[in-house]
Amino acid sequence: MTISHGAQHEDADPFRERSGPVSSVRRQILGGDFRFDSASAALLGVVETAYAGLPSHRLPAAAPTFRIELRLLPRRAPSPGDEPPPVRMQSGAGLLCGVMDTSNYVVLAPAQRQALVVASEDMLDRPYHLRYELVEFAVFTLATRGLGLVPLHGACVGRQGRGVLLLGASGSGKSTLALHSLLHGLDFLAEDAVFVQPEGLLATGVANYLHVQADALGRVDDRAARHWLDRSPRIRRRSGVEKFEADLRLGPGRLAATPLELAGAVFVSAEAAADADALLSPVRAGEVAARLRAGQSYAMAQPGWDRFERQLIRRGVHELRRGGHVRDAVAALHGLLDGSR
């Protein structure tokens, strides 16, 4: 029987523990010190594309180190469809897993602050899914568990160290409001995922990309900003909705240089305000907790949720209805941050 050198290698290293020379990239993300190790320059390039040029947010406590190993597998046979299978979650023995298929998955050991991200070469042709569903999944999950953060589906903008949390159902206009807040002088913290330290309501995020639908272009008056959005690549969400993926590091406005202390939260509504001069209205005390928890099922299961919820309610929660132009809503946010309401 003839055994090829490749077969000998697989028998000697069935778990691929010897992957060859490894390089590293280190980034300060969400208050943690992340080290990415890989023998693949292409995968480290994905990390750089995601996190290079971002403000290095630091939280009051010392930044722990998280280690993420990235491993590239050979290209698979072409699979049907335009997108990879959705990630399925699993856990056991202190490990968390997110699995697309046998060649694309994430294994996390939160107690050890480590993760393994495995991707096939063909995923390099799908950079949005590779970054968002594998690499960022590992970063966000390790940071949430290792730093005790509350992970929220929402956006956040602010100024002078204070921020306002933008919440609301999909399609309510959070991303569009975040975009116009950026264009009208507010600091941009995050558009899709916000991570809050419950003790001091310090919010952090990853301000790398903004996702808006094409109809948002018609409401952007600045020609340079429209050009920035229009030349951005388009991605397709799992829901089927197409959006521009605009790199915030290449666009106008300011990214929040430090975590923002939340001054309160706003539920963004798609409904028009009855009074164009009164877009903001306080949410009734008896409704606040239920509305905060709606759409935040994962966040409310985290250990810091109760402290976060109590403190945010004390700071103030409002509903923001639409005015004649989105800049009217931005002016209302300025008012909240100024403490005038």
288 near 316, Cβ under 8 Å? Answer: no
DSSP state of 132: I
Per-residue pLDDT of the chain (341 residues; tens, 9 = 90+): 333 444 556 678 788 777 677 999 999 999 999 999 999 999 999 999 999 999 999 999 889 999 999 999 999 866 556 789 999 999 999 999 999 999 999 999 999 999 999 999 999 999 999 999 999 999 999 999 999 999 999 999 999 999 999 999 877 789 999 999 999 999 999 999 999 999 999 999 999 999 999 988 888 989 999 999 999 999 998 888 899 999 999 999 999 999 999 999 999 998 888 776 789 999 998 899 999 999 899 999 999 999 999 999 999 999 999 888 888 999 999 999 987 44
Q: What is the pLDDT of residue 277?
A: 73
pLDDT of residue 9: 62
pLDDT value at position 249? 97
Asked if 329 contacts 180 with a C-beta cutoff of 8 angstroms, the reply is yes
Q: What is the pTM (predicted TM-score) of this model?
A: 0.93
- For residues 46 and 130, is the Cβ–Cβ distance under 8 A? yes
Query: What confidence score (pLDDT) does residue 4 get?
Result: 43
**Residue ranges covered by each domain of the chain:** 21-147, 151-338
Q: pLDDT at position 79, please?
A: 59
Amino acid at site 266: V
Q: What is the pLDDT of residue 15?
A: 80
Q: Where do the H-state alpha helices sit in the chain? A: 5-12, 41-51, 127-129, 136-147, 174-183, 223-230, 285-293, 305-315, 326-338
